[in-house]
Amino acid sequence: MIKVTSEQIAEQYKIMHSVREHFSALGKEPKCYIRTFGCQQNEADSEQLRGMTSEMGYARTDTPEDADLILINTCAVREHAELRALSTTGQFKKLKEKNPELYIGVCGCMVTQEHRMDQVKKSYPYVDFLVGTGMLYKLPEILAKQLDGGKRSFTVDSPEGSLAEGLPIERESKATAWVSVMYGCNNFCSYCVVPYTRGRERSRERSDILAEVKRVIADGAKEITLLGQNVNSYSSDGGDFADLVDEICALDGDFILRFMTSHPKDASRKLIDTMAKNDKCAKQFHLPLQSGSGRILHEMNRKYTPESYLELVKYMREKMPDIALSSDIIVGFPGETDEEFEETLSMLRTVGFDMVYSFIYSPRPLTPAAAMTCQIPQEVKSKRFDRLLEVQNEISLAKNLSLVGKHQRVLVTGESKNSPDMLTGRADSNKLVHIPRDAASEAYIGKFANVKITKAETFALFGELA
């Protein structure tokens, strides 16, 4: 792992400030548009990209046509995400033709893969620079060279990845904050590209994380989500992830703590005990199962069995009877038989997840599963996917209906995407809750409200201030 030194970060700050001066000397107020694909880690990375561009004097715009700088932060976890990022990049060609002073950068996981980097180099000549996930901290340097008339540049990571502290972050929301605790992954699940795009596991120092958490609390954050590809393998100063959670929960402030993602082979009893004893810890767990078949889990290199998974769930429910559980499932992994798919459905029924994110298996270059000869035809994968949704939607709805008439603490975050007459927020269980918008509910934006649930749908609850 490459630890970026404080001198290197100071150098980036120096460049950021000279870029800002360059624009102000020209009397220019440049604007930056950022488009993010993929997971919460990418959202968090984009908040850092936003922080750096603001420090360089760029104002935010949500209209690419107005931008002087466009950054596309990409995902590689499934082919679909890559194709969307490429098609979005393609749409910016005409903007570059109209405005030669526009700079376009493609960042993140997709371009960390050599074949995609080559593709963007060759087929998207109007893209000025590429920056891989572990090199994002170099954006100021890369952009300054471009502004100085430099050649196209391609900066991607070393396979082990890097760790950079102290970069500016501009968060999307005041009430909710992502805080990365570790980066990368060593698990090499046979379907997954992440170890290749985000490098080896590395943890941030506990003191750096605690300082950041204190800062976001002071800035008004009410929900803090600790992020990492496998938070359970966090380790710093001899302390593990449960110790970190315990320490954060002991901080002053009215906030709720969440974390993601966990790996069932590493989620410890100690972590579950820590969650149970800390009121500030959300009684919610995202625990990707991926498949309910022991043979497929073995082929996926997941290193747990359906039985050990169920044991873990049992322990969680003993300690926290109301815990909300969510999961990720992949359908159509190479060689998955109808019976093995049925085993997954049966696990969904046995566990009774509140929420499941399901994905059609997508072969990823370099991963062992992509080379397996027994790939499942698309129609079969689609049929299984639809069937899984049908089964899980019924379970999610029943779980949500059981909350009607009950009270839930909800962090109200703002206007509902469905209607300007509604506000939206998350219950402690992480379920989406809509409430009518009026003067009384508006006063709760950015705060916790006690909400009585009056109606439930598969993906959301509805309620009113109690």
> Nearer to ligand SF4 by C-beta: 109 or 120?
109
Name the token pair of 135.
């090199």
Name the token pair of 460.
């959301």
Least distance from C-beta 6 to ligand SF4, angstroms? Answer: 29
Least distance from C-beta 193 to ligand SF4, angstroms? Answer: 8
Name the token pair of 200.
């080896």
Least distance from C-beta 333 to ligand SF4, angstroms? Answer: 12
In this structure, what are the phi and psi dihedrals at residue 318, rounded to the nearest 5 degrees? -65, -45
Least distance from C-beta 135 to ligand 5AD, angstroms? Answer: 23
- List 194, 216, 296, 395, residue binding ligand SF4 (CB under 6 A): 194
> Nearer to ligand 5AD by C-beta: 77 or 355?
77
CA distance linking residue 353 with residue 227, whole number of Å? 21
For residue 377, CA distances in Å to 112, 280, 315 come to: 28, 46, 38
Least distance from C-beta 287 to ligand SF4, angstroms? Answer: 12
How large is the C-alpha radius of gyration of the chain? 23
Total of chain residues touching ligand SF4, rule CB under 6 A:
10
Answer for the pair 102, 96: CB distance below 8 angstroms, yes or no. yes
- Is position 187 an interface residue for ligand SF4 (rule: CB under 6 A)? yes
Within 155-214, the residues that bind ligand 5AD by CB under 6 A are 191-192
Q: CB atoms < 10 A from the CB of 414, how many?
A: 14
Q: Binding partner of residue 206 among ligand 5AD, ligand SF4, none, CB under 5 to 8 Å per kind?
A: none
In this structure, what are the phi and psi dihedrals at residue 417, rounded to the nearest 5 degrees? -70, -25
Total of chain residues touching ligand 5AD, rule CB under 6 A:
12
For residue 8, CA distances in Å to 3, 13, 82, 141, 153 come to: 10, 9, 31, 11, 19
In this structure, what are the phi and psi dihedrals at residue 124, rounded to the nearest 5 degrees? -130, 65
CA distance linking residue 73 with residue 38, whole number of Å? 8
- Is position 195 an interface residue for ligand SF4 (rule: CB under 6 A)? yes
Give the bridge partners for 407, in sequence order. 452
**Binding segment for ligand SF4 among 188-196, 317-325, 401-409, 417-425 (CB under 6 A)?**
188-196
Q: Binding partner of residue 185 among ligand SF4, ligand 5AD, none, CB under 5 to 8 Å per kind?
A: ligand SF4
Write b or e for each residue in 179-209: b if 16 or more Cβ atoms lie within 10 A of its Cβ, otherwise e.
bbbbbbbebebbbbbbbbbbbebbbbebebb
Amino acid code (one letter) for 340? E
Q: Binding partner of residue 188 among ligand 5AD, ligand SF4, none, CB under 5 to 8 Å per kind?
A: ligand SF4
Q: Which of 392, 368, 396, 380 is nearest to 456 (CA)?
A: 396
- Is position 77 an interface residue for ligand 5AD (rule: CB under 6 A)? yes
Name the token pair of 17.
């400030």
Q: Binding partner of residue 230 among ligand 5AD, ligand SF4, none, CB under 5 to 8 Å per kind?
A: ligand SF4
> Nearer to ligand SF4 by C-beta: 189 or 410?
189
Report DSSP state, residue 65. Answer: G
Q: Binding partner of residue 328 among ligand SF4, ligand 5AD, none, CB under 5 to 8 Å per kind?
A: ligand 5AD
- Is position 266 an interface residue for ligand 5AD (rule: CB under 6 A)? no
- Is position 411 an interface residue for ligand 5AD (rule: CB under 6 A)? no
Within 229-248, the residues that bind ligand SF4 by CB under 6 A are 229-230
Within 334-373, the residues that bind ligand 5AD by CB under 6 A are 359, 361-362, 364
Rounded (5°) CA angle 343-344-346: 65
Answer for the pair 292, 348: CB distance below 8 angstroms, yes or no. yes
Least distance from C-beta 197 to ligand 5AD, angstroms? Answer: 11
Least distance from C-beta 367 to ligand 5AD, angstroms? Answer: 7
CA distance linking residue 331 with residue 134, whole number of Å? 30
> Nearer to ligand 5AD by C-beta: 196 or 462?
196
- Is position 267 an interface residue for ligand SF4 (rule: CB under 6 A)? no
> Nearer to ligand 5AD by C-beta: 294 or 414?
294
Ranges of beta strands (E only) in 279-339 are: 284-286, 324-331
Binding site for ligand 5AD (CB under 6 A): 77-78, 191-192, 288, 290, 328, 330, 359, 361-362, 364
Binding site for ligand SF4 (CB under 6 A): 185, 187-189, 192, 194-195, 229-230, 263
